[in-house]
Structure 1
Amino acid sequence: MTLSKNQQIENRRLIRRKEVQEKTGLGGSSIYAMMKKGEFPKCLNLSERRVAWLESDVDQWITERIAEHQVAIEMMEA
């Protein structure tokens, strides 16, 4: 599958922690703790004091949480 230019740009978008927090509902300390455990996407160092995440990585993490939730619901209903 070939991605359009808009999709390629969107998949490469860097987002800062505030936006990551808004998208996920997690707090900053939770994000860093989960990153340390390998449970959340790693951030990229932009400079000595600035980091960002690939939006596509965060979106994939959200998609995986939703899928896990749906599986758990299906198992409870079975």
Structure 2
Amino acid sequence: MTAAPQNKDSAASCDEAVPSPGRLLRLPEVMARVGMKRSAIYQRMSEGRFPKSRSLGPKCAVWVEAEIDAWVADVVSS
């Protein structure tokens, strides 16, 4: 059985209409982006001065890339 050919134009316009989901960053990448160590990141999270991490499991914390980018932009503009 062969698949029907798809129209590239309609597929492209469909892809453009759906916003791509944000990336999830692990701690080493967050540390590299913001220039802070683990303890400073978690300290600021507890004080409400840094984006909160999300838990994907018992030993897997991630941050939303857009929230980290917004935090960096806010620090730069201050």
**5, 8, 14: which one aligns with 2:20:** 8
Aligned residues: 63
Unaligned runs of 5+ in 1: 69-78
Kindly report the root-mean-square deviation, in angstroms, between the aligned alpha carbons of the 2 structures. 1.6
Residue 39 to residue 7, structure 1, CA distance change in 2 (3 Å)? same
Identity of matched residues, %? 30
**53, 57, 73: which one aligns with 2:67:** 57
Residue 5 to residue 62, structure 1, CA distance change in 2 (3 Å)? farther
CA displacement 1:7-51 (0-9 Å, x = unmatched):
623xx1000000000000000000000000000000000101110
- The residue that corresponds to 1:44 in the other structure is 54
- Bigger-Rg structure (1/2): 2
Query: Which has the larger share of helix?
Result: 1
Unaligned runs of 5+ in 2: 1-15
Runs of 4+ in 1 over 4 A off after TM superposition: 4-7
Residue 64 to residue 52, structure 1, CA distance change in 2 (3 Å)? same
**5, 16, 25: which one aligns with 2:35:** 25
